[in-house]
Chain A
Amino acid sequence: GQNIDQPTEMTATEGAIVQINCTYQTSGFNGLFWYQQHAGEAPTFLSYNVLDGLEEKGRFSSFLSRSKGYSYLLLKELQMKDSASYLCAVKLDDKIIFGKGTRLHILP
């Protein structure tokens, strides 16, 4: 079976840094996506990792270790608008499997 684990909820303070972890056990791997989803809206693409290492894009960075089946999304200089769910998703051939998402609450 396919299994993707991420924390259900996290809380952080405006201006701080937060790391959202994701571990996966899947039959195959063609890359890992992170999506952001605000309540009632569609998921929007944040990052894609297929090779080990860190990908930095502005305030957001994503890390992948394929040997450990592990990824994290790092959000810096948190803003209130970053309050959302963050979805970790693994690409298998032509199918994408999503985790249940991490709901991030930002406190002023």
Chain B
Amino acid sequence: DAGVTQSPTHLIKTRGQQVTLRCSPKSGHDTVSWYQQALGQGPQFIFQYYEEEERQRGNFPDRFSGHQFPNYSSELNVNALLLGDSALYLCASSLNRQNNQPQHFGDGTRLSIL
């Protein structure tokens, strides 16, 4: 039973570039949430996808966008990268109907902006 998988594990980009991060949810899960975690901080909610639509969004600019595919996998896109976008990006999956079940996290993608 595969857990949440994310790719790539590490990525280096320069300011102004664009990046796409990918996530496959845990088998049986249909909801994907994305978080940004800066060093020494807790994860900050970016947005959540369910039924291929963005359902909830945190306090992040429009440079952050996403997509969910029919197989429930998801992508996070960040445009016009800034130095402050350097962080660990975590994907978490859950089953939408089960509100008392925890989200399962992937190992994250560490993004460094030079």
Query: What residues make up the interface of B, taking CB atoms closer than 8 Å to A?
Result: 4, 31, 33, 35, 40-45, 48, 50, 55-56, 58, 90, 96, 99-100, 102-108
Contact = CB atoms under 8 A, between A and B. Distances in A.
Interface of A: 4, 30-31, 33, 35, 41-45, 48, 50, 87, 89, 91, 93-101, 103
Given A42-B90, A43-B90, A48-B100, A98 B105 contact: no
Contacts of B55: 94
What are the 3 tightest A-B residue pairs by CB atom distance, in nearest-first order? A98-B42, A45-B102, A42-B105
Given A41-B107, A42-B90, A42-B107, A96 B99 contact: no
A88 B106 CA distance: 18
Contacts, number: 57
Q: Main secondary structure on chain A at its contact with chain B?
A: strand
Contact of A87 (B33, B42, B50): B42
A99 B58 contact: no
B99 A98 contact: no
A96 B105 contact: no
A99 B103 contact: no
